[in-house]
């Protein structure tokens, strides 16, 4: 459990959340040292950039100072480090939402922008999650904004199986928060996150981090602790769900962007999606109901009362960037597909009965246009059509990161002949890589 209280550090009037912030986001290790200057990894064209690993080392040194009761462990020092980290990193998100009644007989979806931010309030690190209003035919999703203590909820992790062990993790959270109108928002949060090794992410990046969150909505929590946290979801009467792609890191300064030449980026991708095929069935086999209505009501089990999702991971993919033409081209395929069991662990889908489903996330053609330090464009294959949103990160556009939203139709255009034509299927993909 990652739940954490400030009590032991409050005695020394220190901000313990600083190190936990690093541990949670960066999986950093500690380091010795008697001072904690703000880190700078590289300077390019007069602009300073700090890698994720170097921020982790700085946080770790501060933690070591506090553990050894070093004079450098001060509240002012903690705030200066954390404020600098928050300021240096931008956070980009995109989301898709799916709604149905418990029986699954009513299905709606909307896609829309979302945002995520961190801020220091008193002796707490607060995170804000916001979904903008979205419309699909008629207004279906009003949006909301909630702010909560970063460590006000418990979590537990599962390692990815096989060759991805130690590279990616599946993390579960129970989140109970109250918005500004005192309306309770309850989520079962499921995140796919890369693990850091010696300052390098699974994707080979140092300056950018890509993850996906699945938010299954509940109604109420059982709370414990001081500060209180959601020990378990106590009531769930709907199978509503959101998928959110997130990328953060220091964007390449506009004055540090290349203006000519062509570069290849070695990239990796992870995805979460829900895929219906015929009468509300999940995936290709038709053996699983798309909506798991079991457990709707009091004390739902893990993965009870939710839309069933499938996860996927890519091998190395190549994105070609032409800075002279301000264009990005590439092809993306997801190779390994997983289903999350009732216990929370991942099972690799190896049966040939899933082959047709797997093929729907292959040979996705990417075409995007660069503007400043960001880019937008389209993604399409014979089953899905969608959009890509991305940015360049680190010195001299060293890294690339993007979020892809896919569905069988976009802007009233249906992919004719799609495996999911006239069905409910959506996927969020995050991709990150380096030169």
Q: Do residue 111 and residue 199 come from a single domain? A: yes
What 3-state class would DSSP assign to 293?
Answer: coil
pLDDT digits (tens, 9 = 90+) for 177-212: 766 666 667 777 888 988 877 778 899 999 998 999
Q: Is residue 2 part of a domain?
A: no
Provide the edge-to-edge strand list for the sheet that holds 229-236: 220-224, 229-236, 297-298
33 lies in the same domain as 93: no
Q: Are 404 and 380 spatial neighbours (Cβ–Cβ below 8 Å)? A: no
Distance CA 247, CA 432 (A): 8
Residue 50 domain boundaries: 7-86
Give the other-Cβ count within 10 Å of 367's Cβ: 13
Binned at pLDDT 50, 70 and 90, residue 332 comes out as very high
69 with 134, same domain: the answer is no
Tokens read off for 336: 């390994």
For residue 36, the model assigns a pLDDT of 57
Q: How confident is the model at residue 293 (pLDDT cuts 50, 70, 90)?
A: confident
Q: 252 with 195, same domain?
A: yes
| For range 221-245, the mean pLDDT | 79
Total domains, the chain: 2
Residue 376 included in any domain:
yes
Give residue 138's pLDDT band: very low, low, confident or very high (50, 70, 90): low
Cβ-Cβ contacts under 8 Å for 407 (sequence gap 6 or more): 96, 109, 111, 384, 385, 386, 425, 426, 427
Q: What is the DSSP letter of 52?
A: H
Residue with tokens 């992870």, as numbered in its chain: 270
> Is 119 in contact with 126 (CB distance < 8 Å)?
yes
> Averaged over 365-380, what is the pLDDT?
97
Please indicate, yes or no, if residue 1 is contained in any of the structural domains: no
Residue 29, in any domain of the structure: yes
Q: Which pLDDT belongs to residue 340?
A: 82
Residues 73 and 217 in one domain: no
* Within-domain flag for 340: yes
Same domain, 110 and 214: yes
**For residue 15, is pLDDT > 70?**
no
Q: How large a percentage of the chain has pLDDT more than 70?
A: 79
- Residue 391 within any structural domain of the chain: yes
Is residue 48 domain-shared with residue 123, that is, in the same domain?
no
What is the share, in percent, of the chain residues with pLDDT greater than 90?
Answer: 31
Cβ contacts of 357 within 8 Å, gap of 6 or more:
275, 277, 283, 284, 310, 337, 419
Specify the higher pLDDT residue, 25 or 226.
226
pLDDT tens digit string along 44-86?
999 999 998 888 788 778 777 777 777 777 777 777 888 888 8
With beta carbons less than 8 A apart as the criterion, state whether 382 and 418 touch: yes
Q: What is the mean pLDDT of residues 115-123?
A: 77
Q: Are residues 82 and 93 in the same domain?
A: no
Q: Same domain for 75 and 94?
A: no
Domain boundary among 34, 59, 86: 86
List of E strands, 152-296? 155-159, 168-178, 184-194, 209-218, 220-224, 229-236, 241-249, 262-275, 281-282, 288-289, 291-292
Q: How many residues does the chain have?
A: 435
d(CA 391, CA 405) in angstroms, rounded, equals 15
Spatial separation of the C-alpha atoms in residues 148 and 127, rounded to whole Å: 6
For residues 79 and 97, membership in a common domain is answered with no
What pLDDT is recorded for position 222? 82
The whole-model pTM stands at 0.87
For the cut 60, the answer to whether the pLDDT of residue 287 exceeds it is no
pLDDT band at 256 (very low <50, low <70, confident <90, very high): very high
Within a domain: residue 167?
yes
The residue ranking higher by pLDDT, 70 or 371, is 371
What pLDDT sits at residue 23?
A: 42
What sign does the dihedral 23-210-354-319 (CA atoms) show? Answer: negative
* 186 and 205 fall within a common domain: yes
| pLDDT over 50 at 29, yes or no | no
- Among the candidates 37, 59, 86, a domain finishes at 86
Cβ atoms 173, 148 nearer than 8 A: no
Q: What is the pLDDT of residue 401?
A: 97
Whether residue 54 is found in the same domain as residue 185 = no
393 in a structural domain: yes
CATH value at residue 198: 2.40.160.90
pLDDT at 43 over 60: yes
Assign 259 a pLDDT band (cuts: 50, 70, 90). very high
Cα separation, 127 vs 121, whole angstroms: 10
Residue where a domain stops, chosen among 68, 86, 104: 86
| Structure tokens, 118 | 């961190």
Report the pLDDT value the prediction gives residue 101, as an integer from 0 to 100.
Answer: 52
């Amino acid at each position: 459990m990652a739940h954490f209280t400030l009590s032991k550090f409050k005695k020394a009037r220190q901000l313990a959340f600083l190190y936990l912030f690093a541990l949670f986001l960066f999986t950093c290790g500690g380091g010795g040292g008697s001072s904690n200057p703000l880190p700078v990894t590289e300077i390019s064209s007069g602009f300073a950039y700090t890698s994720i690993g170097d921020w982790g080392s700085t946080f770790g040194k501060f933690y070591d100072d506090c553990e050894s009761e070093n004079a450098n462990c001060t509240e002012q020092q903690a705030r200066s480090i954390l404020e600098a980290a928050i300021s240096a990193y931008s956070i980009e998100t995109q989301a898709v939402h799916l709604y149905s009644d418990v029986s699954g007989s009513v299905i709606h979806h909307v896609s829309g922008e979302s945002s995520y931010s961190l801020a220091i309030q008193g002796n707490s690190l607060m995170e804000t999650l916001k979904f903008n209003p979205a419309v699909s035919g008629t207004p279906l999703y009003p949006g909301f904004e909630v702010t909560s203590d970063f460590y006000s909820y418990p979590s537990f992790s599962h390692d990815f199986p096989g060759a991805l062990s130690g590279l990616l993790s599946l993390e579960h959270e129970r989140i109970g928060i109250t918005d500004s109108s005192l309306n309770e928002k309850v989520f079962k949060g499921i995140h796919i996150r890369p693990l850091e090794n010696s300052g390098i992410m699974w994707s080979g990046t140092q300056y950018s981090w890509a993850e996906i969150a699945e938010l299954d909505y509940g109604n109420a929590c059982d709370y414990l602790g001081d500060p209180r946290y959601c020990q378990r979801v106590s009531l769930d009467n709907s199978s509503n769900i959101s998928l959110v792609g997130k990328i953060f890191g220091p964007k390449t300064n506009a004055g540090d962007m290349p203006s000519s030449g062509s570069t290849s980026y070695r990239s990796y991708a992870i995805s979460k999606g829900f895929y219906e095929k015929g009468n509300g069935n999940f995936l290709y086999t038709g053996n699983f109901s798309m909506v798991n209505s079991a457990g709707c009501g009091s004390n739902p089990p893990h993965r009870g009362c939710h839309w069933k999702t499938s996860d996927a991971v890519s091998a190395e993919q190549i994105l070609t960037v032409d800075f002279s033409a301000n264009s990005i081209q590439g092809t993306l395929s997801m190779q390994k597909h997983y289903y999350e069991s009732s216990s929370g662990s991942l099972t690799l889908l190896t049966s040939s009965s899933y082959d047709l489903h797997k093929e729907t996330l292959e040979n996705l053609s990417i075409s995007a246009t660069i503007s400043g330090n960001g880019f937008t464009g389209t993604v399409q294959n014979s089953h899905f059509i969608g959009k890509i949103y991305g940015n360049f990160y680190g010195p001299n556009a060293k890294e690339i990161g993007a979020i892809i939203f896919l569905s069988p139709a976009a802007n009233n255009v249906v992919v004719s002949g799609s495996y999911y034509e006239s069905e409910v299927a959506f996927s969020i993909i995050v991709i990150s890589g380096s030169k």
